């Protein structure tokens, strides 16, 4: 850098390159450094003058009384401040770049190694190919995680703007989730159902994307079938005295698996028959062998399924970012249970003379009715100023279940929320012929499609995920947290009830209140299963009697919540967090509060834990956790 009269030039900077934050900081750094050097020279000159006689000093001062020099000398005094400020800014910029690089590296890694689960919200786009759950692969995952954790801890986000601090916390939560999966709740070595999810769930998920399938997708489906024997062999080696209730569930889930896979294979006309049949038979052999080994070991397996309090607290604090203790969660759930039962009782009394809802008479009429009601929900949201629905958003529909999907429908949630690269497609729930004997949720949907559409589709999960997948922040596009996602889905149900969507159907309001009973009970079931106060079958019976609901659905719920602690309570606790957030925002903003703007923020950031959203939106105190 060299100075000329009235001009400052940075010789080290190429002016032809586009302006960037880093380049701007570099310029300021050079400038501040030069100013600091000149200030130092002036200071040394003053020190030398202190030893001169008054006469010599007077002569020198008369020669050096240059107004420009004096002005520059005064400016030198602020140079240190400028240098310190921009050095800190440059350090912060470097730290921000470190976070962005960590984010990119972690999500690429996560897409490759994240386990498949029975949940639908946390699905992601993954690279194709064979998957490996050997001990060596698990050790590699641990090593990779330790590297990510070390990089995250080196970043100091203390003085960042709140949105960036939130991003930093999100990555910490995502890393804690991997630690939870590998070491705190290591289902890979304590739950036989885990390997059903790593073998049959990937196949069911692949079929959720509507056909026909091109060569690449057909090859990936075949690869997933061919991968089954090696994964089960690795699983058998990894499992270490899994709880007997978990083994029992896995044994029952695999009953008739060969026949189911053959039916699937027969219906898959788009794949080459010779390749497919051989892969299916080898997969069936491996699955039956896995089931047989579990049956043989079953009498010697322990009965305890709970992880214990310490593990549960790790999940609540580090993964879900909840500020609450298990006892506080139980109290919140009980209060909401009382509220739901009271409201349902009042609604039923009000509607005692109203004719019951009719079941859909056939699948075609059911699908048409659901499509018409989805359009009415979209119109209602916009006209009532509840939530903005962009024009680019497609539709959430019911779709007939393909024959090749039916045999494996028990191994995944039958909902297609699309994905970040499929925003041009409709979201859907796959259904079979409507029946009064269907499970709890589909029975309600056959009476009125709107409650499930509101939760799963519009304005629920599918709509929220579509908005989040277009988020400009890559951290918030990829991060997921059931506490926010399921909280929004459940909140949407009562939001639409209070807004008047169901005013035309009194018995549909009863369905909403009964859904509320279930979600409140899930809190108690989740906490007590995790702490060992409920056994799996006890939890299933409790749900069956208290909701009430059919035995099969109650048991499926209890199984899912026992093997995945912390998920069942997300509906109720997430909803309560949103309601508190809304109340705080309304009180802070007063008459300036805009409900649609509030909801637009919550939905766009719907993958972000509600405590983090509240902190960012209100900009006041840090979250309690």
CA diameter of the chain: 112
User: Each residue of 361-408: pLDDT tens digit?
Assistant: 999 999 999 999 999 999 999 999 999 999 999 999 999 999 999 999
Q: Considering only 31-35, 389-393, 556-560, 608-612, which range has the smallest mean pLDDT?
A: 31-35
In angstroms, the CA 508 to CA 497 distance is: 9
Does 546 have pLDDT greater than 90?
yes
Tokens 């896979």 -> residue = 261
Q: How far is it, in rounded angstroms, from Cα 321 to Cα 304?
A: 27
pLDDT at 53: 54
Higher pLDDT, 26 or 556: 556
Q: Torsion angle of alpha carbons 332, 336, 339, 340, nearest 10°?
A: -170
pLDDT for the residue numbered 177:
97
Instruction: Record the tokens describing residue 94, joined without a space.
Output: 């470097």
DSSP state letter for 500: T
Instruction: Give the pLDDT of residue 395.
Output: 98
Three-class secondary structure of residue 368 per DSSP: helix
The SS3 assignment for 430 reads strand
Q: Report whether pLDDT(68) > 50.
A: yes
Which segments of 340-465 are extended strands (E)? 396-400, 415-416, 427-431
The encoded tokens of residue 164 equal 């960036």
pLDDT digits (tens, 9 = 90+) for 129-151: 999 999 999 999 999 999 999 99
List the beta bridge partners of residue 4.
Answer: 7
How much is the average pLDDT of 581-592? 97
- pLDDT at residue 140 in the model: 98
Asked if 194 and 115 count as a contact pair (C-beta separation under 8 A), the reply is yes
**pLDDT of 38:** 62
pLDDT reported for residue 67: 58
What is the pTM assigned to this prediction? 0.86
Q: Which residues of 570-600 are buried (b: 16+ CB within 10 A; e: fewer)?
A: bbbbbbbbbeebbeebeeeeeeeeebeebbe
Residue 302 corresponds to which tokens in the numbers above?
């322990």
Residue 430 sits at φ, ψ, to 5 deg, of: -85, 135
Cα angle, residue 233 at apex, residues 228 and 237 outer, rounded to 5°: 145
pLDDT, residue 275, reads 85
Whether pLDDT at 32 is above 70: no
Cα separation, 157 vs 168, in Å, equals 7
Q: Over 50: is that where the pLDDT of 426 sits? A: yes
Q: Band the pLDDT of 19: cuts 50, 70, 90.
A: very low
The strand pairing partners of 399, in sequence order, are 430
Query: Would you say residue 555 has pLDDT above 50?
Result: yes
CA end-to-end distance (rounded Å), the chain? 49
Task: Note whether 340 and 520 are within 8 A (CB).
Answer: yes
Centre a 10 Å sphere on the Cβ of residue 545 and count the other Cβ atoms it contains: 10
Residue 261, pLDDT > 90, answer yes
Q: Which of 491, 497, 516, 521 is nearest to 599 (CA)?
A: 491
**Higher-pLDDT residue of 12, 404:** 404
What CA–CA distance (Å, rounded) separates 497 from 517? 15
């Amino acid at each position: 850098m060299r100075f000329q009269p009235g001009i400052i030039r940075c010789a080290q900077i190429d002016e032809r390159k586009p302006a960037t934050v880093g380049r701007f900081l570099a310029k300021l750094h050079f400038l501040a450094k030069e100013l600091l050097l000149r200030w130092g020279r002036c200071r040394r000159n003053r020190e030398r003058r202190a030893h001169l006689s008054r006469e010599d000093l007077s002569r020198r001062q008369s020669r050096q009384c240059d107004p420009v020099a004096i002005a520059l000398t005064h400016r030198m005094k602020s140079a240190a401040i400028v240098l310190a400020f921009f050095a800190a800014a440059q350090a912060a910029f470097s730290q921000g770049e470190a976070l962005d690089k960590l984010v990119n590296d972690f999500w690429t890694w996560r897409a490759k190694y994240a386990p498949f689960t029975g949940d639908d919200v946390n699905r992601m786009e993954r690279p194709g190919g064979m998957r490996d759950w050997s001990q060596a692969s698990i050790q590699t995952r641990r090593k990779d995680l330790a590297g990510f954790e070390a990089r995250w801890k080196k970043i100091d986000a203390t003085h960042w703007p709140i949105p960036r601090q939130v991003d930093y916390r999100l990555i910490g939560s995502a890393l804690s989730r991997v630690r939870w999966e590998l070491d705190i709740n290591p289902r890979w070595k304590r739950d036989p159902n885990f390997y059903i999810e790593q073998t049959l769930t990937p196949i069911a998920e692949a079929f959720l994307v509507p056909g026909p399938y091109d060569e690449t997708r057909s090859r990936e489906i075949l690869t997933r079938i061919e991968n089954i024997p090696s994964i089960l062999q690795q699983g058998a080696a990894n499992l270490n005295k899994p709880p007997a209730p978990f083994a029992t569930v896995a044994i029952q889930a695999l009953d008739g698996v060969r026949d189911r896979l053959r039916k699937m294979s027969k219906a898959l006309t788009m794949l080459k028959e010779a390749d497919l049949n051989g892969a299916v038979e080898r997969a069936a052999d491996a699955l039956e062998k896995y089931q047989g080994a579990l049956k043989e070991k079953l009498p010697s397996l322990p009965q305890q399924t709970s992880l214990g309090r310490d593990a549960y607290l790790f999940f609540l604090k580090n993964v879900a970012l909840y500020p609450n203790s298990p006892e506080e969660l139980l109290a919140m759930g009980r209060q909401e249970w009382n509220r739901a039962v009271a409201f349902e009782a009042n609604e039923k009394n009000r509607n005692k003379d109203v004719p019951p809802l009719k079941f859909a008479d056939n699948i075609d009429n059911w699908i048409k009715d659901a499509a018409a009601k989805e359009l009415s929900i979209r119109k209602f949201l916009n006209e009532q100023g509840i939530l903005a629905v962009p024009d680019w958003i497609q539709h959430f529909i019911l779709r007939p279940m393909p024959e090749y999907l039916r045999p494996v429908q028990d191994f995944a949630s039958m909902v297609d929320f699309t994905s970040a690269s499929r925003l041009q497609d409709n979201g859907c729930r796959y259904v079979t012929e409507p029946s009064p004997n269907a499970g709890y949720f589909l029975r309600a949907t056959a009476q009125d499609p709107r409650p499930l559409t509101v939760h799963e589709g519009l304005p629920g999960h599918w709509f929220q995920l579509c908005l989040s997948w277009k988020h400009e922040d890559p951290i918030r596009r990829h991060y997921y947290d059931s506490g926010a996602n399921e909280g929004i889905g459940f909140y949407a149900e009562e939001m639409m009830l209070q807004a008047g969507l169901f005013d035309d159907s009194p018995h549909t309001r009863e369905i909403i209140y009964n859904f509320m009973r279930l979600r409140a009970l899930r809190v108690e079931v989740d906490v007590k299963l995790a702490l060992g106060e409920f056994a799996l079958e006890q939890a299933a019976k409790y749900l069956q009697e208290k909701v009430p609901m059919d035995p099969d659905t109650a048991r499926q719920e209890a199984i899912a919540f026992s093997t995945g602690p912390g998920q069942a309570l997300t509906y109720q606790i997430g909803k309560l967090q949103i309601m508190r957030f809304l109340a705080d925002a309304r009180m802070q903003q007063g008459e300036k509060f805009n409900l649609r703007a509030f909801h637009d923020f919550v939905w766009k950031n719907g993958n972000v834990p509600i405590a983090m959203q509240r902190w960012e939106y209100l900009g006041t105190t840090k979250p309690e956790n």
